[in-house]
Amino acid sequence: MHTRTLGNPGTAISEVGLGTWQLGSADWGEVNPADTQAILACSVECGVNFIDTADVYGMGHSERAIGDFLKTTSAELHVATKLGRRHDEPHGWPQNFTLETMRAHTEDSLRHLGVDSLFLTQLHCIPTDELRRGEVFDHLRTLQSEGLIRHWGVSVETVEEGLLCLEQPGLASLQIIFNIFRQKLGDELLPAAQAKGVGLIARVPLASGLLAGKFSADTTFAETDHRHYNAEGQCFNIGETFAGVGLAHGTALAEAVRDTLPGPAEHTMAQQALRWVLDHDAITTVIPGATRLTQAESNAAVSEMESLPEETHTQLRELYDAQIADKIQGVY
């Protein structure tokens, strides 16, 4: 597993991390506790040392599961969490963005994970207006000065939000939706972040599974799965589900992507799509999820793959411009 640097002073983190939304709730289908621990262990055995979670994933369930795993391993792991989207009483917007509440949520995450200081905490796709006001960044700096967090970053939904955050001193990372279906970020946001030494964490790298190439337009999902209940962006930003292209368009576009990828046969479509992300050297780590051990192993193996040919990158950009860009729903 190759590493890239995040934060100042820099920490070497695995260029393939593990996203754990799917380990905290039924939003990706059910994953039982034993399988959760096995997926975490398998990922670490494959060289993953960066795990991304959030306090709202199962309302602390994901964090607690990771905390249980941390008690069983001697590996040096770097766990990133997020705050700002809790909705349990008396929390919610705008209460989530006061220093008092952010401190309380941070302390909850510390307790769930069983650690004294968070490696990285991230604002979790909070309203753009809160980012513009800027008080939340001062609150993060206060928590950092108190030793509760080592680094802080922001999970954003749009290029505008990312550029806004890059103006903030002390920003360690941005978490972005970046995949073959969402290439616009490479035009301005990636080089801007790289110029400032800000890490980039790529989420939704497989467009909710579309870029694994295994869905059809008739595929159905459980009512508790976000690919069912948020298919039209009913509950949160539509980009988090199928990268905003939708299932019907997305399956057709995934076939066009498959036809553009070069092979070879020993690499799956999902692996090649993850490799496409890592071929952008501004990206610090990509964080696919896994609900099976084989997925965890396959994801980690991408680090050892050769880069895709430059011709393939050019063809995929041409495909994006010609067929994908105007199919994306929502602002990004």
**20-31 pLDDT tens trace:** 988 876 444 567
**153-210 pLDDT tens trace:** 999 999 999 999 999 999 999 999 999 999 999 999 999 999 999 999 999 999 887 8
Burial degree of 276 (CB within 10 A; 0-12, 13-18, 19+): buried
Both structure tokens of 243:
């990268």
Domains and CATH numbers, the chain: 3-327 (3.20.20.100)
The pLDDT score that the predictor gives to residue 117 is 98
**44-71 pLDDT tens trace:** 999 999 999 999 998 899 999 999 999 9
With H, G, I as helix, E, B as strand and everything else as coil, classify residue 86: coil
Per-residue pLDDT for 270 more than 90? yes
**292-318 pLDDT tens trace:** 999 999 999 999 999 999 999 999 999
b/e map of 255-274 (b: 16 or more CB within 10 Å)? Answer: eebeebbeeeeebbbbbbbb
The pLDDT score that the predictor gives to residue 79 is 98
Of 307, 273, 303, 292, give the one whose Cα is nearest residue 205.
273
The strand pairing partners of 301, in sequence order, are none
d(C-alpha 103, C-alpha 93), whole Å:
15
Mean pLDDT of the chain: 90
d(C-alpha 236, C-alpha 58), whole Å:
16
Per-residue pLDDT for 97 more than 60? yes
The pLDDT score that the predictor gives to residue 17 is 98
| Cα–Cα distances in angstroms (integers) from residue 153 to residues 122, 131, 174, 241, in the given order | 4, 12, 6, 22
The strand pairing partners of 122, in sequence order, are 82, 153
Both structure tokens of 229:
């209940």
Averaged pLDDT for residues 277-303: 97
Q: Could you give the dihedral angle defined by the CA atoms of residues 228, 321, 157 and 249, in that order, rounded to the nearest 10 degrees?
A: 0
d(C-alpha 71, C-alpha 51), whole Å:
15
C-alpha 165: how far from chain center: 17
Please count the other Cβ atoms lying within 10 Å of the Cβ belonging to residue 280. 18
Q: Are 200 and 173 in contact (CB under 8 A)?
A: yes
Per-residue pLDDT for 143 more than 70? yes
The pLDDT score that the predictor gives to residue 42 is 97
Both structure tokens of 225:
């799965």
Say which DSSP state 29 is in.
Answer: B
The pLDDT score that the predictor gives to residue 28 is 43
Banded pLDDT at 215 (limits 50, 70, 90): confident
The pLDDT score that the predictor gives to residue 197 is 96
**216-255 pLDDT tens trace:** 667 766 666 767 666 666 666 666 777 777 777 777 888 9
d(C-alpha 148, C-alpha 92), whole Å:
22
